[in-house]
Amino acid sequence: MTTKDAGTGRVVRMALLLEESPGIGRDAARRLAEKVQPGDVLDFEGFWLESNSFADEFIKALFDLYGPGGLKRIRMENIPQLLGILFRKSFCKYAQEESGRHASKGSF
């Protein structure tokens, strides 16, 4: 599942993690997100689960767990093209919501 990478923290092999914790869509996304932490490098080589519901829930779960600052400290590599597009879309959506919450509280 994970290996140590000199200087960058854990490398999390997402395809292996998915095999250890099978499921699809939102359920799988939440379980996988709970096993990730800021500073990790997520390697998506061989990862086959590419759906909007997975991407949306995975990014949402990371936002809920670590906030935008923690999420920015998680590096992702070897992301399949479609999954990368879906991740970016979800990240923008939740970043915008987070920004709106701060703006409504009067902070910038």
What's the number of domains the chain is made of? 1
Amino acid at 75: R
What is the predicted pLDDT for the residue at 56?
93
Spatial neighbors of 95 by CB under 8 A, at least 6 apart, are 68
Domain extent, residue 48, equals: 2-104
Per-residue pLDDT of the chain (108 residues; tens, 9 = 90+): 555 554 557 999 999 988 887 777 788 899 999 999 999 999 999 998 888 888 999 999 999 999 888 988 999 999 999 999 999 999 898 888 877 765 555 544
What is the predicted pLDDT for the residue at 107?
47
Helix, strand and coil percent figures for the chain, each rounded to 5:
55, 15, 30
What is the rounded CA–CA span in Å between residue 40 and residue 21? 18
In sequence order, the β-bridge partners of residue 63 are none
What is the rounded CA–CA span in Å between residue 99 and residue 75? 22
In this prediction the pTM is 0.80
- And the tokens for 26? 């939102």
